[in-house]
Amino acid sequence: MKWLWFGVAAVLGFIVFHQPVSSAGASVASAPESAKVGSVRVTLLSTMLADQGIGEWGFAALVEAGGHRILFDTGARPDTVLQNAKELGVDLAAIRDVILSHNHADHTGGLLTLRRELMKQNPQALSRAHVGRGIFWPRPASSGDASMPAVKEAYEKLGGRFVEHDRPDPIQPGVWITGPVPRVHPERNWSGSGRVQTPEGLEEDTIPEDLSLVFDTERGLVVISGCGHAGIVNTLEYARKVVRAAPIHAALGGFHLFQASEEHLAWTAQQLRAMGLKHFVGAHCTGIEAVFRIRELAGLNRETAVVGAVGASYSLEKGIDPLALAR
């Protein structure tokens, strides 16, 4: 019966990725412990440093894993990702699933333009957006970004549908959305000035919906973050708890360390080293100096820890290709 259940769970995880989810926030069958992704490739489409295309304060990445493609975040300006994809020769029209790591406009700004333009080629293009619980909670305009309810309305008018995750969910065998990440360690990676209307009342906006994407591979876990408002250590520890207690083979994306103190960077690097981190691509809000300090303190080198640039990539097979500017 044990092996029968594992087989059923794998099939259910595959169906969830390929067919419409019955209801937002519905629980998804757990993936079998043995499910692994054989290949992973991540290409940056929005960040500040640009070896090719347009740089901006934002984040987006194309993820290709196990024969499937996912867009993670959509950049800041409406057409940055669209234009960068064209310049890089990346076809986004066949992608159905987009993941929005959190509510901030530098991660959601391209969603409507991408959906509007790509659906001309494929009606299903970016028609399903995965988000964490809390992303649509009201935020007073005076204390932060209050645009997501309007984005939701406009996206749904374009035929798109949001799927809210309040827990870790496998969206295909070996690929997990973390859902909101518990804040075990005091990594305060948010402004502290924002407010959000939660079911319990008006509270400090800690970006509670912040989520990441996790790939379970034979070499360990590969984790992609948009801003890491939940904290890079909290996020990676949670990934190891809910997916598999494996080493962190790669951590990619934005990790909001650009304002971190030397003490905090040292503690962070120590934790990353203890989790077996082998590759680190710090883009967007990670910070240039923070990447270099993490590289040094976590025992990485020029080939295994770089500042992320538009067009740069990471693959499970070849590691990091930073392109010329960040090499």
Per-residue pLDDT band for 325 (boundaries 50, 70, 90) equals: confident
15 within a domain of the structure (yes/no): no
What does the pLDDT look like over 258-281, one tens digit per residue? 999 999 999 999 999 999 999 999
327 within a domain of the structure (yes/no): no
Question: Which helix (H) or strand (E) covers residue 294, if one does?
Answer: helix 288-297
Contacts of 112 (CB under 8 A, 6+ apart): 78, 151, 154, 155, 158
- Domains: count for the chain: 1
19 within a domain of the structure (yes/no): no
122 within a domain of the structure (yes/no): yes
How far is the C-alpha of 225 from the C-alpha of 252, rounded, in Å?
Answer: 6
What does the pLDDT look like over 119-145, one tens digit per residue? 999 999 999 999 999 999 999 875 556
Give yes or no for residue 3 having a pLDDT over 80: no
Asked if residue 266 lies in contact with residue 299, where contact means CB atoms within 8 angstroms, the answer is: no
Tokens in use for 38?
Answer: 């054989």
* 55 CB neighbour count, 10 Å cutoff: 16
Given this model, what pLDDT does residue 327 score? 84
CATH of the domain at 73: 3.60.15.10
Give yes or no for residue 185 having a pLDDT over 90: yes
What does the pLDDT look like over 87-105, one tens digit per residue? 999 999 999 999 999 999 9
Q: Which residue range forms the structural domain that includes residue 256?
A: 36-321
Question: What is the dihedral sign for C-alpha 280, 281, 285, 291?
Answer: positive
How far is the C-alpha of 24 from the C-alpha of 290, rounded, in Å?
Answer: 37
Give yes or no for residue 172 having a pLDDT over 60: yes
300 within a domain of the structure (yes/no): yes
Mean pLDDT of the chain: 89
Residue matched to tokens 């290949």: 39
Question: Which helix (H) or strand (E) covers residue 113, if one does?
Answer: helix 111-118
326 within a domain of the structure (yes/no): no
Given this model, what pLDDT does residue 20 score? 34
At how many degrees (to 10) do helices 262-274 and 232-242 cross?
Answer: 20
- For the entire predicted model, the pTM comes to 0.89
5 within a domain of the structure (yes/no): no
pLDDT over 70 percentage in the chain: 88
275 within a domain of the structure (yes/no): yes
